Amino acid sequence: MRPFFRWAICAIGLANLCVWSACCQADLPLQPYASYWKPDDEPNSLKDYVYDWDPDAQFNKGSVPLASRFTNPALQANPNARANQARVMSLAAFDSTSNNPSQGSDTSRYYAFNNWQYLDAMVFWGGSAGEGNILAPNGPVIDAAHRNGVPVYGTIFLPPNVYGGDIDRLSDLVSESRGGRYPLADKLIEIAEKNRFDGWFFNQETSGADSGLAQQTIDFLQYIQDNSDLEMIWYDSMLENGNISWQGELNSFNNGFFEGSSTNDRASDSMFLDFRWNANKLNNSASYAEALGRDKYEIYAGVDVEGSGWDQSRVSMSDLFPNGGDHRASLGLYRPEWTLNSTSTVEQFYERDNQFWVGANADPRDTSGSVGSRGWKGLANYVPEKSPITDGPFVTNFNMGQGNHYWIDGMVSRRGEWNNLSLQDVVPTWRWLIDAPSNPLTPEIDFGIAYYGGSSLRVSGNLTSQNDLRLYMTNLPVTAETNLQVAFKTDVAASDSNMEVLVAFTDDPTNFTAVPVGASSGGGWELATLPLGDYAGKTIAQLGFRFDGTDDDYGINIGRLGVIDGEADPVAPPTNLALLDYAEVNDRQYTMRLEWQHSADYAPDDSNEVYNYNVYEVVDGRRVFLGGTLNNSFFVRNLIAPTRRNLVTVEVVSISNEFGESTASSFDLIWTNLPNELAGDYNNDGVVDLGDYTLWRDNFGGEAGTLTNNPYTSSIGMLQYNLWKENFGATAAAVVGTLNVPEPSSCTLLLAAGLAVGWYRRR
């Protein structure tokens, strides 16, 4: 495979020229990035890396527990799809290796993947010889995948020599220490466990190894198996004799990296075959896997989407998925973000991505058509959809994790483009299943308006007959207190919605009960609560909407669909909100690093009751949304100083799984009191050291103004202590670059600012 370099190049030699790219978007002072390393080369040596000393680490944690998923044969959309056979793995690059923001960015043009229902494994692809060979996933991708029931893997990529590969890096990586330990394997285990992702994809394509180094690599893989619950994925490249030779199959030359020398000697949990497979090789692989006591569907046949899109000429999908026969192996997709990179707008991306996954007809039941020159039918033709909605409450706002603005309760709370997959809701199980005798309406994701987030579901067209839109496969118990919640906005104010919620129960999963929504009372968003208590004791198998009536220009936006018990209950608030650090972008814009203690109702398992935390700036009593996360650390990209007042309040609230909102944890900032040089330097001597701790201790409980370089207005306490602790060891000279970053008029300036900030971020 090819190394992943930055996909946009900055014209450094041209003054005041900035080619739009990830680098121009992301290089803000204090910006945390996804972590990447080389095994034992500076900068960013994994050998020398200490997780607890990395100031970016806390911003890269995944916080959403991995959901369990299920299928329901009675509701399977496509008759060709085969349950419990092939799985689907994606190797997707969400940004560059070295400049991958930890918690989203200020552009809506982003690979906000949203067909999780067909995916079984997401590899956070990246790595290069120049930047780093090892890339850990960022928190938003972990969160979105886990919310939709999909595990996430980091990447270890040792490239071919022509792309800078150096066999010494493999030797460094798999080096064994005294006592039979593998120090860098221990580091990989620690990083994955602390950041809560699920394993590593290992792609070793560097030439120069011998059989001894190959065996050491196998031992390294087995060490991770024996010392963690992580899953390892091996890429078909290196042979047991150390040579690089892509086989396109599992065989006696490479099986050691899969199952070791015998059965019950597991080295990796699955193998991704290079793009050289065919029907015969897949049959051989299946036989070989079964002889080793392994499942043939742990073998993934790779498809080069980046190189060929859906016009696949190197491989035949019918070799993998024979018509009318069992699948020969699972499917591995290399760089399917081609659906974004080959389009120019977010709307075009959604159309192409839906064709790639669902098929030409945008109907997972009907994959009779195809796209491209090679008859691409879409993944819905082969694998059944899966759902993570296994228990209540369930609420979706049809928020896809990107948008042009951010709405809260029907009102714009943040203006400007954004992306953050941590905020993506569970995506619809089917896009789209709509039944109508004629003139079916058109469902689509609408980024022009939302109830909560950046998008809503829009349904429009010539309404001439009953239209049934199936959306979600569920397993939701109903009690006497259960209610449906629906937020909707009709195109015509104060008009009948012509809409009912469709509910089917597990005792008759294809027979719908229709619950009327009613009319809108005005021209804005309506939030309707519809009791389901009459069906207590039943379990909801699917949810959707019915549209009925006559309207030649019908249109409605749906911004929430929920199943909750009673009202939307709040959860406990976060506590001890602290400003860890801040930096000035210009005379009115600041960035900040925040931290707080989790709500008492948060848990890292399926007992968690917190959906996410909302972060606000409050000026003159008006809240402005700064961002959201389920992490308890957050990077604020754009805090704007008020023009008429010197005071701003920063708040963090907990949002429950029912979208109830807690009280706030907050602090006040007085702009004129913000430190001019070094936050935490309470004695103003140019260094944050024990002298500042002594001054803090001696003034504990006193007035805030007693300490210089203290941004807080509250009495001296733990907020000031945490600020001192975070900045301990920093000097005023090192911070100058973060406080005087030039405006982003060119990539040259941004890169220079990045160099100035670099030491500070990694102190």
- Give domain status of residue 270, yes or no: yes
Same domain, 515 and 560: yes
Residues 761 and 737 in one domain: yes
Q: In this structure, are 71 and 99 located in the same domain? A: yes
| DSSP3 helix / strand / coil % (the chain, rounded to 5) | 20, 30, 45
Burial category of 427 from C-beta neighbours within 10 Å (exposed 0-12, middle 13-18, buried 19 and up): buried
CA 581 to chain centre: 25
CA atoms of 335 and 315, how far apart (whole Å): 16
Q: How many domains would you assign to the chain? A: 5
Asked whether residue 208 falls in the same domain as residue 338, the answer is yes
| CATH number of 700's domain | 1.10.1330.10
Q: What tokens appear for 157 in the block?
A: 């990529």
Q: Are strands 610-619 and 647-656 parallel, antiparallel or unpaired?
A: antiparallel
pLDDT higher than threshold 50 for residue 282: yes
State the residue for tokens 């886990």. 146
User: At 20, is the pLDDT very low, low, confident or very high (cuts 50, 70, 90)?
Assistant: very low
Q: pLDDT digit string (tens) for 440-485?
A: 999 999 999 999 999 999 999 999 999 999 999 999 999 999 999 9
Looking at the domain assignment, is residue 389 inside a domain? Answer: no
Name the H helices within 174-278: 183-195, 211-227
Q: Which range marks the domain in which residue 370 is found?
A: 40-381
- CA-nearest of 482, 489, 463, 647 to 559 is 489
Indicate whether 386 belongs to any domain: no
- Ranges of beta strands (E only) in 420-516 are 433-435, 442-446, 456-463, 467-477, 482-490, 499-505, 508-516
255 and 273 co-located in one domain: yes
d(CA 520, CA 515): 16
578: β partners:
595
Higher pLDDT, 618 or 759: 618
- Token pair in block for residue 83: 């349950």
User: Across the chain, what does the average pLDDT equal?
Assistant: 90
Q: Which amino acid is at 282?
A: L
The CATH number of whichever domain residue 541 belongs to comes to 2.60.120.260
Answer positive or negative: Cα dihedral of 682, 686, 688, 694.
negative
Q: Are residues 416 and 520 in the same domain?
A: yes
pLDDT of residue 262: 63
Q: What is the pLDDT of residues 679-732, one digit of tens each?
A: 888 888 888 999 999 899 899 999 888 888 887 767 898 888 988 988 898 886
Residue 265 resides in a domain: yes
* Distance of alpha carbon 604 from alpha carbon 568, whole angstroms: 22
Any idea what DSSP says for residue 375? T
> What confidence category does residue 676 fall into, taking pLDDT thresholds of 50, 70 and 90?
low
Q: Looking at the domain assignment, is residue 387 inside a domain?
A: no
Cis previous bond, 570, omega within 30: no
- Whose tokens are 């930890």? That residue is 102
The answer to the question of residue 388 being in a domain is: no
**Are residues 241 and 363 part of one domain?**
yes
The rounded distance, in Å, linking the Cα atoms of 469 and 466 is 10
With vertex at residue 131, the alpha carbon angle to CA 125 and CA 136, rounded to the nearest 5 degrees, is: 40
For 256, list phi and psi in degrees, rounded to 5: -60, -30
Q: Are strands 88-92 and 330-334 parallel, antiparallel or unpaired?
A: parallel
What pTM was computed for the model? 0.88
Q: From CA 675, how far away is CA 351, in angstroms rounded?
A: 49
DSSP assignment of 533-562: GGGTT-EEEEEEEEE-S-EEEEEEEEEEEE
What pLDDT is recorded for position 752?
27
Instruction: Indicate whether 719 and 695 sit together in one domain.
Output: yes
Q: What is the spatial distance between Cα 479 and Cα 652, in angstroms, rounded to a whole number?
A: 32
Indicate which CATH number applies to the domain containing 611.
Answer: 2.60.40.10
CATH number at residue 243: 3.20.20.80
Residue 249 predicted with pLDDT over 60: yes
**Is residue 261 scored above 70 in pLDDT?**
no
Tell whether 250 and 120 lie within a shared domain: yes
**Domain stop point among 565, 591, 622:** 565
For residues 400, 406, 408, 411, the Cα torsion angle rounded to the nearest 10 degrees is -130
Distance in angstroms (rounded) separating the CA atoms of residues 235 and 205: 9
Strand 402-408 with 442-446, pairing = unpaired
Residues 106 and 200 in one domain: yes
Name the DSSP letter for residue 506.
T
Whether residue 675 has pLDDT greater than 90: no
* The one-letter amino acid at 42: E
Q: What does the DSSP assignment read for 87-125?
A: -EEEEE--S-SSS-BBTBBS-S-S-----GGG-SEEEE-
Secondary structure class of 358 (helix, strand, coil): coil
Statement to judge: residues 177 and 163 lie in one domain: yes
DSSP per residue over 109-175, as a string?
-S-----GGG-SEEEE---BTTTBSEEPPPHHHHHHHHHTT--EEEEEEE--GGGT--HHHHHHHT-
Is residue 460 in some structural domain? yes
Quick check: 192 pLDDT over 60?
A: yes
Q: Which residues of 297-324 are buried (b: 16+ CB within 10 A; e: fewer)?
A: bbbbbbbbbbbbbbebeebebebbbeee
Poorest-pLDDT segment among 20-34, 208-222, 243-257, 562-576: 20-34
Average pLDDT over residues 156-170: 97
Residue 427 sits in the same domain as residue 400: yes
Answer yes or no: are the C-beta atoms of 723 and 579 closer than 8 Å.
yes
**Domain end call among 381, 408, 431:** 381
> Which one of 538, 565, 592 terminates a domain?
565
Distance CA 751, CA 744 (A): 10
Q: Is residue 199, in this structure, part of any structural domain at all? A: yes
Residue type, 117: Q
